[in-house]
Amino acid sequence: MFRFENRTVLIISPQPWDHLLISKHHYALELAERGNRVFFLEPPDPRLSSHVQLRDASQNPRIRIIRYRPAFPFVIRFHARPLYDRMILWQIRTLRAAISQPIDVVWSFDFNLFSNLRAFGPRLSVFHPVDPLSQPHQINVARSADAVFSVSEKILANFSHVNVPRWFINHGLSRPFEEIARSPVVFPDNARPRVGYAGNLMRRPVNRSVLRAMVESNAGVEFHFWGTAETTDEAESNSISFVEFLRRAQNVIVHGAVSPAELATQLQEMDCMVLAYAEDPRESDRSNAHKILEYLSTGKVVVSSRISTYESEPDLLRMPDTDDDAALPALLRDTLARLPEFNSERYQSRRRAYALDNTYAKQLDRIESRLDG
């Protein structure tokens, strides 16, 4: 029977450790709490003074963070993938030497850098993409895996021609939102309805025109936006103008980025949550979104773009009948007019129970059970 107990696990992450904690960070923490030795491999950093650097994570000494300097220009992967795949084997040997112990499991959330997970010499290799795949080399990583997990059936469909076991595992619910979901149901006594949105406002998939229409067509509603809203020279003009619109609007409060614990607490004061995503080949296929579980942990009604993973769960999300987000402003108005119905204790309890059934501890249990098979 397979268990993540006293294992040496290498997690390959497309984000550094000192990043907003997301799925790969939470799995690393959960693994460490179960007594495993976790090596967390960050993306390459050409600025490093040495080939490889290791340090302990402040959150748990069982997690060691690996930083490394690329041994050759990684840009060649865009122009000469076969050559890159041969050269990366030397980089892998350097990383294995730095780890200096046998690897039981390599668990890769990255689909661009390492095509052959078996080159790390693990007993078990796991491929876990959580974003859309668009290139053949990204899908081919699965050929070196013993199992593939992903957050939607739509992503898993990419591997239908690959002879590898594959399973759906939803996004996970982090500890701050788990604590909120276990607390008493909150019924805010707001002077006017409050609608919340949480997420990076500069991300490409954000359907800004629809969110703007929601704000403009509901002058009597108080909108709250959390997440990165800092404009840069590289930011697209429509992102900049959208943030400027939000800051000017009389019925909008822009909070900016806050800690997960602060966000979890503040979302409790909302009457309704919204999500509006357009499709983007690199960042969103509208099959799932991690913020949905965070929204559901509050118990409050969620008005959302059509998300395929939740199409069979009408109690959880209110979505348009089609993929046309133009229907969202009207759907929001209808929802706000019927808040007592959609935020009844029965509905709130159902949403919270669903969120609590998808904690990272439970997801890791599910992954163990699949690997048993």
Residue identified by tokens 């936006």 is: 225
Q: What is the pLDDT of residue 98?
A: 96
**CATH code of 224's domain:** 3.40.50.2000
Average per-residue pLDDT for the chain = 94
The token pair at 347 is 């509905």
Ranges 1-5, 263-267, 317-321, 361-365: which has the least confidence? 1-5
Whether the CB-CB separation of 215 and 252 falls below 8 Å is answered with yes
Do 242 and 167 sit in the same domain of this protein? Answer: no
Contacts of 115 (CB under 8 A, 6+ apart): 81, 85, 88, 137, 140, 141, 144
Assigned domain for 100 exists: yes
Do 41 and 188 sit in the same domain of this protein? Answer: no
Confidence bin at 218 (pLDDT 50/70/90): very high
Do 97 and 74 sit in the same domain of this protein? Answer: yes
Contacts of 19 (CB under 8 A, 6+ apart): 25
Torsional sign, CA 250, 252, 258, 65? negative
Q: Give the residues across from 40 on adjacent strands.
A: 11, 65
Q: What is the pLDDT of residue 281?
A: 77
The token pair at 31 is 């693994």
CA 176 vs CA 234, 292, 297: distances in Å? 32, 15, 10
Do 185 and 280 sit in the same domain of this protein? Answer: yes
d(CA 110, CA 117) in angstroms, rounded, equals 11
Angle at 356 between CA 205 and CA 198, to 5 degrees: 30
Do 352 and 206 sit in the same domain of this protein? Answer: yes
Q: Find the radius of gyration of the CA atoms of the chain.
A: 22
Q: What is the pLDDT of residue 231?
A: 62
% of residues, the chain, pLDDT over 90? 89
pLDDT tens, residue by residue, 101-145: 999 999 999 999 999 999 999 999 999 999 999 899 999 999 999
Do 158 and 214 sit in the same domain of this protein? Answer: no
Question: In the chain, how many domains are there?
Answer: 2
Do 274 and 126 sit in the same domain of this protein? Answer: no
Whether the CB-CB separation of 315 and 332 falls below 8 Å is answered with no
Torsional sign, CA 184, 188, 193, 199? negative
Assigned domain for 3 exists: no
Residue identified by tokens 């876990």 is: 128
Do 168 and 188 sit in the same domain of this protein? Answer: no
Assigned domain for 1 exists: no
Do 238 and 160 sit in the same domain of this protein? Answer: no
Assigned domain for 158 exists: yes
User: Residue 69, exposed/middle/buried by CB under 10 A (0-12, 13-18, 19+)?
Assistant: middle
Amino acid identity, residue 28?
A
CA 18 vs CA 9, 12, 22, 199: distances in Å? 19, 14, 11, 18
Decide if pLDDT at 233 tops 70: no
Beta strand pairing call for 60-68 and 105-108: unpaired
* Backbone φ, ψ for residue 313 (5° rounding): -125, 70
For residue 322, give its domain range: 175-356
Assigned domain for 2 exists: no
Helices 208-216 and 328-337, interaxial angle, to 10°?
40
Confidence bin at 189 (pLDDT 50/70/90): confident
Confidence bin at 96 (pLDDT 50/70/90): very high
Do 252 and 187 sit in the same domain of this protein? Answer: yes
Q: What is the pLDDT of residue 232?
A: 58
Do 165 and 181 sit in the same domain of this protein? Answer: no
Do 205 and 158 sit in the same domain of this protein? Answer: no
Whether the CB-CB separation of 174 and 24 falls below 8 Å is answered with no
